[in-house]
Every structure is written in structure tokens, then in C-alpha cells.
Amino acid sequence: MRKHLTLLAVLVLSSVLAFAQTKLITGRVTDQQGQPVPFSTIRVKGTKKGVSADADGNYSIRASIGETLIVSGAGIELKEATVGAGSVDITVARKNASLTEVVVVGYGVQKKSDVIGNIASVKGAAIADNPVQSFDAALGGKAAGVQITSANGVVNNPPVFRIRGTNSISLSSYPLIVIDGVPTFTGDVSMSDAAANPLASINPADIESLDVLKDAAATAIYGSRAANGVVIITTKRGKRGKTKVTYSGWVGQTKATRLWKTLNADQYMMIKNEGVANKPGATAKFLPTNGPDGKEINTDWKDLVYRTGISHSHALTVSGGNEATTYFISAGYTKQNGIVVKNSFERKNFRFSIDHKVSNVFSLGAQAGYSNEINLAATSTGSLPGQAYSTGGLGRIALILPPNIAARNNDGTYNTNGAAIGPMNNVNPGISYYNPLVLIENNHTSTENNHIQANAYLQLKPIPDVTLKTVYGVDYLLSDNDFFSTPLNGDGYPGGEAINSNLTYKRWIWTSTGQYDHIFADKHTVGLLVGTEQQYTTQLGYGIDRTNVTDPFFTNGQGGFADNVPATVSGNTNGLRTENYLVSGFGRLNYDFDKRYFVSGSFRRDGYSAFAPGHKYGNFWSASVAYDIAKESFFTNSGIGKVINTLRLRGSYGTTGNISGIGDFDSYSFYGTGLYNSNPALNFTNSGNSNLTWETSKKTDIGLQFSLLNDVISGDVAWYRNNIDGLIIKVTQAGSTGIPGLQIPTNIGTMYNKGFEVTLNARPVTSKNFRWTTSLNVTYNKNMVTSLAPGLNNILYTTSGLEQTSITMPGYSIGTLYLYPTQGVDPATGHRIFLNGAGEQIEYGHETASWTYVKSGAAASKINPAKDKRPLFNVIPKYYGGFENTFRYGSFDLGILATYEFGFYVYNGTQASIRDNRFWNSSVDVLRRWTHAGQITDIPKIVYGDNISNGSANPISENAQKGDFIKLRNVSLGYALPAKMLGRIGINNARVYVSGQNLLVITKYKGPDPETSTNGNDTQGQGVDRNSVANGRVFTVGLNVGF
């Protein structure tokens, strides 16, 4: 034993002696731009000694002065450096970025240089600090082909999300969103008046990358769900190295911008009484009322509805790992108050992931994200789809309630008149709208989502070229809705109503893939993917709708109410219970020769439960080629080859499908239950289409990628065309067929989208102290409906069930504005001039509610929708995109993002509302009304009760306006605190910033914001702005810290 100890001592001593000749060298590996290069390998030349740099490029190694260090790693050129007296910082050259960047593709990753499909990648960091509820809202302008329309200022309302145009008429046109391999739920899942975008469960700060798959080559592997494009979200995972802790947080405020200017009380009474004087027989009178202070009441209802919302967000992450195990843990909290009083979003989220390498062959991992989101609103904002004409919709009543009345009587009680607000001293105004103060103070409506997204995988690499992987994931979304409407006023008057309902979405998915990669004879690269997948989704919803509260004390559905019925869930009066199942096999083969000639093909076979036997399975495929000319020796050797680093032509063609929005049992026929003399009866209630199947998109994409001057300038140009066949149209059947409802969804319509995308990136300045990068993307898209169904000339779209604003018909783009053409105001009479179907000018005089020819004054027929309305204006922007500039000077950074859309119209229905000549308040526009013969103006004579001349009762072309805009969407200015100072308090890096969103919009549109959608994501009802609240302007101050 002693002998052994002696030997050990000798060994230790000798090793100490040996090491005494070397010293600990520390340093940092950075690239030419001074950015850290993580995880490079540093070896001492001529020895076997080697270490890895950490995530920030820091390393330490024992070496002697004079020895040479060799730095190597993925994406960097080999670099040697000699060990000197001090620390050894090493600057390495990055390899051509496009050659080394990795891109997430369907069921895998590929080197960016090997990808043929059209994929736009957005780094998570680019959106992490955006004060948005969900990441999709931050994607606007970030990638060519992606169009994000923020519908309004209601928090957590899903934006309108389109990739390369609108690709369906009856189904959804929202892309497939895949989060860490699990397709998730999209759209507003709320059944209350608060919006609830389920994508808000992902904290944007937890996202590593967002990859937008656009063409068939990229999307066909997702088969029947890919027609609208696919967005793959990859969340952050741990990296080898020291434990890294980060905190990021911001606090901000949001405020409504560009609100309409409305009349004050005096102006209101002047205008309305003028209207009464102009209308024979009108009995209304508009008279002032004094408030408690003895002064005339002058209420701006907007002050009651809008506010400055304070928001804040905090996220903490811990990550790290060793050779075998890496982990990532994050926790986040945010509370975001919207511009509308009591409208807020609150999220608590937790996420972890762990990856463990058991051996060189076997590895496994798991991740889970849980979030709790509370979406709150006092009452209807009137801004979500279907709410535009809500009698209590705050967006509208903020504008149209008379300014000469108050929310409270002088004794402090609420000013009410039954369900409506009281008229005070006004005589016979017939006010039917609610008192917003009562609703705001007494109603509440909320949707609370508990969302769990988790998956686990096993991976085996039995031989170096083969990877076998199986992943099981779940996505459970539990949504609780709570709704209370006070008996005091509004919808709940006089009994009060409470609705509680639950909606549960559950999905599991099991994906198994095998990937084989091999390079034969140095030049033939082959990649083969095969896989299977099953996805099973259930939806369960039920609730109770209680009316007639027994005591005003009760304000929720568990309190005392007299009457109960089941709550209607997604149109089902007894609740909802449904399921669907998708089973698939897929594969992809990539081949390239010498990285010059690329060929790829993908295939997917999907079986979907919603379709009838015999129609369940469908095949989707793509084929693509690319040619890297810049790799040819004739090119590199030529003069142009010195200027152009990359020049690649690519093309793809393939098919994908759309099933998003097909009912789970739409292909089946059902009998419903009823009673006949108290005995059960079965009746034929639903005739399915047993031939129903997906809509099919045939996508062509031809593109050119290039980079010049050592990548100082790079870009991508693509031309695309998507022909959609078998669009589902509800085809009307003859009455005598006896089909319930007489309509059957049928795959029959056709439509196309075509266009081009240009992306240009440049780094005009890259000096050590100053860097400027700029990126511009432009998308041109043309949408055209080419056929509907035999005998079906058009499909009319009704906004919120009341106003036919839009038409879909062959030869026009989807949802074209369908309006009565108007031609100003007749200077002789002050009447609105309409153009009838025969092309004759007729005018409307509300004094006698009569129609006359402008020329002759003879009586004319009144306007008739079938004869006189016309498809007039395109609502889908022809051009859209973003322009982003980043400047870095020393420790300062400045980012500016502008987005723009051109070539479309918006139907400004709100303008119609606030030019209505009933008791409604008006915009200050009406002050330039027609008052005397010969006066030339755009506002007709005020005649009390007139809701026709201004388009309030019938959509007129006067209210359609060009929507073209350029918007300063995001500006952020940051400062990185000095590392020395931070080092003393144990902080690695810290950055403070200020940022602003939606700072400026340049547009001729007269409403608050041309970026709007009263009908939400509906495919046929875009470009309508009817009584919605506007988007807010946000300022934030934030901090990012790394420990």
C-alpha cells in the first residue's frame, strides 16, 4: 500500500513539474465583425491537447509561449495563432455564411447551401423583445411572401397571416404552425369577448428560429395541410458549456393613435338640429344638459373607452450542459394592458428541454412548455369577427354616442333608459345604444388558456450515416370562458346573463423518421428521409348559459340564476365533441453532384379521418432542381466570378393540400333527434358529401439566389404560381332534392395566386466601430378566382351578418369590395349621387325619402343590390414587404423596421357610421356639409335620420379608400453596457434599449389605420374596417442581461 502511495506522489509531482513549463492561456474567438464564435475547437499544434470554446467564444488552455494554437469549427476557416505573453484573442474568418448556415426543413435540418426549397428564416432574436402577445404578430415585414395584418388593437387577437396570398375561399388560409415538431392550434379559440390566440402560449423570447416554408419543394412533405405554407418554430435548447443565465424584460405603454375626431356637444347639437330642421315631420330635438358642475355636458366617449395601457414582460432562462447532457429552462411572466379599458393579456410560462447522449449511438431528450394565459375584457370591443354591429361594441359607441349626454346622472347614478343609455334633455333621439360605463364597470368576459406542449424523443445512430428517431408529442389546450352581462344595462338587461364554457383541444402526434446521409466518391451527396406519422386530435366543449339572476350579487355562472340552457359551443347547441386523425407516410430524397447540381424529391401519403371511405387517402409530392453556377470552374475563373460569389438557379413543382376548416364529419350524413308526441324521433338533418376531399394546391417556384462582393450584397428572387383546384364551395341543390339546408360542400372551385418575391441584403459598412446592415423585401402577389360552381356566379360576403361588403366571383380577386358606385354630392341639391346599374346618375333626398334622376329630376327606382352594386375594388395588397436597417456603433445599436403595403383598397365602414344622420355623433368631416345651392363639397346635406346618403345602411364607393401605407413598425435603440464594469458585478453582458412600435404611418387612408380587418382572418371579408378599435402605438424600455 505504502509503495503505491509513493508511486502516486511521484506521479503527481512529476505531472506538476511537467505542467510548470506551460501556463494557462485564456482568450476569445471572434469573427471579423467581432462577434463571438461559439464552441470552436482550440488545439495546441503538434499535441493532442484540445478544448472547446464556450457559447461566447471564451476558452482556456494550457500551452507554452511560442506554441501554436489551431482554431477550427463548423462554419469557420482554420486559423493559427501563436501563444504570447498575454491572453490570446483569435479572430477567425467565417466561411461563406450561406454555405454554413443551417435551415430547419420539414422533419430535419439542412445546410442552407443544400436547400432547394424556398424557405425564409427569421432568427428568434429578431422578434424576442417585441411587445406582442404572440410571435406571429411580430413577423410582419420580416420575410418575403409573408403578410401579417394586425387586425386591431384588441390584445391577443390573432393577426391575419398569409403566405403568398389567400389560398382558400371556404377553408382557412392560415399557415400550418409546427412548434418543435408538433402542429399546434391556430385561430381565435375564445368563446368570450376577449380574443385568445393560442400561439401566445409561446414566449417569443424562447424561440430560436422561425422558418417559413413557402414553395412545394419545402412544404409538400407536410402534404394535406401545407397549402397555406408552413411555419416551423424551433424553441431554444441548451448548449454545451458553462451554465448561462439570462434575464430579459421590458416595460412599456400603449396608446391609441390617429383616432377619429368627433364633434363636441355644441357642434353635435348644431348639426343634429340642422338635420331635424331639414327633415319634415322630424320630432327629435337636441338640447344641452348641465352636468353636476353646472356646465353643459360635453363628453368625449373615447376618453371612457381608450386608455394608456401599461405592459411589462420578464423572462429568465438558464441553460448549459456538458458533453453528454444539455438543458434549457425558462420562465416568463407578462402582463399587457391594451388600449381599450380593461382589455388585457397575462401569461405565465415555463419551458424546459433536456438532451442527453447516452452513447455515441443512443441519445434521447424531452421538452415541455406550459403556459397559463388570461385574456380579459370588460365587454365587447366590437372589433372581433362578427361583432362590428354589436349594440355595445366599444369601438363604435366610443364614436357615435351623443357628446351632450353623460354616463352618469347628476346624482351619480348610471344614466340608463332600459337597456340603452338615457337621452337626458334630448327629445326623441331614439338612442338604442348602451351606456359603456355600465358595461365597463359591471360586465366581464375572459378566456383563460392552459396550454401544454411537450414531446420526447429517442434517437439512434447505429452507423455514422444513419439516424433513426422517434418523437412523441402532445399539445393540450384547455380553454375556460367566463362571461357576465349585467342586468343593469346592455345585452343582459333586465335579467342578467352568465355563460361559462370549457373548450378542450387535445392532440398527440407520433413521428418516426430514418435519415441516411452519405457522400459517395467525394462528389455524390445523397440524403434520404423516410418517416411515418400519426396525429390524433379531439375537441370537447360544453357549458351553461344562465339567465335571470336571482340577486344582483351574483356575477358568474355558478351563482344564482333562474334559467339554464346549455351554452352553444362552436354553433352546437348541446356542446361539441369531435375528433380527427391523420396517418401518414413520407419520404424525401436529396442528391447533389459536387454541390453544383441538386435534385430533390419529396412524397407524402396522408389518410384523413374526415373523409369518407374510398376518399381518405391522398398523395402529395414535389420535385425540385437547383444549379449552382458560381461553383463551376468556368465561372469562378472568369472575371465575373470574382464579383459574384453565389449564383444559383432553382425550380420546384409539387402539390399540397388544405384541410384546415373542414368539419370532422363533413363527409358523413347525420340524423338528429327530436320529439313527436313526446316520443323520440330521428330526422335527417345533415347531408354530407361522401366525395369530399382536400383542396389541392399546385405550386411552381422558380428562383435565383445570388451574392456579390464577398457577400456584401446578397439576395433572392423568386417567381411563383399556385393553382388551387377543388376549392370547397357550398353548392346549392334544388329544393326538391330534400337535402337538409340544400347546400353541400363540394370540391369544385378554382383560383390562383401568382407573383414574385425579391429579397436584398447588404452590409454597406462593416468597419470595426461601425456596422450597417440593410435588408429589403418586396412581394408582388396577384390573386384571381377563376371558377366557382356551375350556375353559381358569385358568393356574397356579409360583414358581421349585416352588410354585404364583398363579393367573390370569377375574374376578380377574392373578396372584392361590392359597393354602390357614388359620384359625390349634387351641388344643386346637396344630395348624394349614385350611379345605377344602367349607368344613370340618380340621387337620394332623405327629406322625402325619394330617388330622382340627377338630370331630369324625374322619379327614379331606388337602389337595388342585384342591379346596382358592382365589384369595384381589390382588397388584397399587390405589393407588400419590409425594409430593415441595423446600425451598430461602438456599444450602440439601432434597428429600424418599416413595413409597407400597396395596391389595395379598404372599405372604411366606420366613416359611414360617423356620417350617419340619426342621433349618432359624427366626425368633424360633417362640418363641411352642403348647406347652400352651388356649394361643392363631399358631405351631403344633413337631413335627420338619413342613413343612406352616407353609406351607413348600404355600402357606397365613397367610403372605399386606398389603403396604401408605409409604417414605421419598429425602432429600437440599444446600448451594451461596458463589459469591464459588468464583470465586477458578475454579469457577462447587458444591454438596455428603448423601442417604439407603430410610430408613424404614411397613408392617405382616413381611418386610424389601413392595416385592419374587421372580419379577422376570414378569406372573403378582408379590407373591411367597420367600427373596430385601432392599433395602438407602443413604447418600451428594456433590459437584456447575461450572467
Partner 1 sequence: MKKYIYQLVILSGLALAAGSCSKAKLNPSSSTGLSDASVFQTKGRIANQVNGLYAAVRSGQFMGGRVPIYNDIRGENFINETGNGVTGLLIWNFTVGGGDTYINNTWNAAYLCINQCNLFLDGMEATGNKVVGDDLAKKYNAEAKFVRALAYYNLLQLYATPYTKDNGASPGLPLRLKGIKGSGFSNLARSTVAEVYNQIISDLNDAESGLPADYGDDATNVVHAHVNTAIALKTRVYLSMGNYDNVITEASKIVPAAAPFKAPSGVANALVSDLGTVFTSYMTAESIFSLPYTGAAEAPAGQSQLGSYYLPPKDYSSQGSGEYSLNAATGVITDANWKATDVRRNYIFTDTKGKKWWTKFSSPSPYLDWVPILRYSEVMLSLAEARTRKANAVDAQAVALLNAVRQRSDATTTFAPASATELINDILQERNIEFLGEGLRSIDIIRLQQTFPAKGAAVAVAPTSQNYMFPAPSSETAVNTLW
**Which residues, 710 to 769, sit near partner 1 by CB under 8 A?**
731-740, 742, 744, 746
CB of 610 to partner 1, least distance (A): 9
CB of 420 to partner 1, least distance (A): 25
- Taking residues 280 to 319 in sequence order and writing x for each that binds partner 1 by CB under 8 A, - otherwise, the string is ----------------------------------------
CB of 515 to partner 1, least distance (A): 12
Q: How many CA atoms lie within 13 A of 5 on its CB side?
A: 2
Residue 364 binding partner 1, by CB under 8 A: no
CA distances from 49 to 41, 52, 73, 866 (A): 10, 11, 16, 84
Between residues 470 and 947, which has the closer beta carbon with respect to partner 1? 470
CB of 617 to partner 1, least distance (A): 9
The region, left, alpha or beta by phi > 0 then psi within -120 to 50, assigned to residue 1027 is left
Between residues 26 and 683, which has the closer beta carbon with respect to partner 1? 683
**Contact region with partner 1 (CB under 8 A), list: 132-140, 184-192, 601-609, 1018-1026:** 601-609
Of 461, 493, 39, nearest in space to 242 by CA? 39
CB of 674 to partner 1, least distance (A): 5
207-213 vs 989-1003, strand pairing mode: unpaired
Between residues 428 and 683, which has the closer beta carbon with respect to partner 1? 683
Q: Which member of 273, 609, 766, 774 binds partner 1 (CB under 8 A)?
A: 609
Between residues 143 and 692, which has the closer beta carbon with respect to partner 1? 692
Q: Which member of 333, 476, 510, 627 binds partner 1 (CB under 8 A)?
A: 510
- Taking residues 561 to 590 in sequence order and writing x for each that binds partner 1 by CB under 8 A, - otherwise, the string is -----------x-xxxxxxxx-x-x-----
Residue 861 binding partner 1, by CB under 8 A: no
Between residues 657 and 815, which has the closer beta carbon with respect to partner 1? 657
The values of phi and psi at residue 745, to 5°, are: -65, 125
CB of 190 to partner 1, least distance (A): 22
CB of 679 to partner 1, least distance (A): 5
Residue 793 binding partner 1, by CB under 8 A: no
Residue 234 binding partner 1, by CB under 8 A: no
Between residues 152 and 580, which has the closer beta carbon with respect to partner 1? 580
Among residue numbers 645 through 674, which ones bind partner 1 (CB under 8 A)? 664-665, 668-674
Q: Which member of 113, 224, 481, 511 binds partner 1 (CB under 8 A)?
A: 511
Separation of alpha carbons 430 and 408, rounded Å: 18
Of 77, 98, 114, 112, nearest in space to 517 by CA? 114
Between residues 322 and 685, which has the closer beta carbon with respect to partner 1? 685
- For 536, other C-beta atoms within 10 Å of its C-beta total 15
Q: Is 631 helix (H, G, I), strand (E, B) or coil?
A: helix
**Contact region with partner 1 (CB under 8 A), list: 71-79, 370-378, 679-687, 1006-1014:** 679-687
Residue 506 binding partner 1, by CB under 8 A: no
Between residues 583 and 982, which has the closer beta carbon with respect to partner 1? 583
Residue 330 binding partner 1, by CB under 8 A: no
Give the three cell numbers for residue 902.
400597396
Give the number of residues in contact with partner 1, rule: CB under 8 A.
Answer: 71
Separation of alpha carbons 36 and 54, rounded Å: 10
CB of 227 to partner 1, least distance (A): 21
Q: Which class for 270: exposed (0-12), middle (13-18), buried (19 or more C-beta within 10 A)?
A: middle
CB of 742 to partner 1, least distance (A): 6
Separation of alpha carbons 785 and 411, rounded Å: 60
CB of 665 to partner 1, least distance (A): 5
**Contact region with partner 1 (CB under 8 A), list: 370-378, 393-401, 604-612, 931-939:** 604-612
**Contact of 476 with 492, CB cutoff 8 Å:** no
Between residues 681 and 979, which has the closer beta carbon with respect to partner 1? 681
CB of 986 to partner 1, least distance (A): 43
Separation of alpha carbons 607 and 616, rounded Å: 5
Between residues 64 and 683, which has the closer beta carbon with respect to partner 1? 683
Q: Which member of 78, 87, 277, 362 binds partner 1 (CB under 8 A)?
A: 362
CB environment 1010-1039: b (16+ within 10 A), e (fewer): bbbbbbbbbbbbbbbbbbbbbbbbbbbebb
Q: Which member of 190, 689, 705, 799 binds partner 1 (CB under 8 A)?
A: 689
**Contact of 566 with 518, CB cutoff 8 Å:** no
CA torsion through residues 156, 160, 164, 166, sign? positive
Give the three cell numbers for residue 127.
422578434
Between residues 480 and 664, which has the closer beta carbon with respect to partner 1? 664
Q: Which member of 791, 801, 934, 986 binds partner 1 (CB under 8 A)?
A: 791
Give the three cell numbers for residue 234.
424551433
Residues 6+ apart with CB under 8 A from 146: 120, 139, 140, 161, 162, 163, 212, 779
Q: What is the DSSP string of 604-621?
A: EEEEETTSPTTSSEEEEE
CB of 867 to partner 1, least distance (A): 14
Give the three cell numbers for residue 1043.
450572467
Q: What is the DSSP string of 175-222?
A: PEEEETTEE---S---SSSS---GGGGS-GGGEEEEEEE-SHHHHGGG
**Contact region with partner 1 (CB under 8 A), list: 33-41, 339-347, 369-377, 607-615:** 607-615
Give the three cell numbers for residue 942.
344633413
Separation of alpha carbons 248 and 238, rounded Å: 17
**Contact region with partner 1 (CB under 8 A), list: 252-260, 417-425, 605-613, 881-889:** 605-613
Among residue numbers 529 through 568, which ones bind partner 1 (CB under 8 A)? 532-534, 536
Residue 889 binding partner 1, by CB under 8 A: no
Residue 592 binding partner 1, by CB under 8 A: no
Residues 6+ apart with CB under 8 A from 919: 272, 284, 286, 402, 426, 429, 430, 431
Q: Is 827 helix (H, G, I), strand (E, B) or coil?
A: coil
Between residues 678 and 767, which has the closer beta carbon with respect to partner 1? 678
CB of 994 to partner 1, least distance (A): 50
Residues 6+ apart with CB under 8 A from 579: 536, 537, 538, 539, 609, 664
Separation of alpha carbons 204 and 351, rounded Å: 12
DSSP letter assigned to residue 322: -
Between residues 681 and 1002, which has the closer beta carbon with respect to partner 1? 681
Q: Which member of 36, 75, 495, 514 binds partner 1 (CB under 8 A)?
A: 514
Between residues 578 and 794, which has the closer beta carbon with respect to partner 1? 578
CA distances from 822 to 327, 840, 855, 872, 953 (A): 64, 11, 15, 11, 14
Reported as type and span, the H/E element at residue 534 is: strand 524-549
Residue 619 binding partner 1, by CB under 8 A: no
Residue 118 binding partner 1, by CB under 8 A: no
CB of 367 to partner 1, least distance (A): 19
Rg (CA), the chain: 32
**Contact of 951 with 912, CB cutoff 8 Å:** yes
CB of 795 to partner 1, least distance (A): 15
CB of 728 to partner 1, least distance (A): 12
Of 170, 227, 186, nearest in space to 815 by CA? 170
Among residue numbers 452 through 481, which ones bind partner 1 (CB under 8 A)? 458, 460, 462, 468, 470
Q: Which member of 16, 17, 85, 675 binds partner 1 (CB under 8 A)?
A: 675
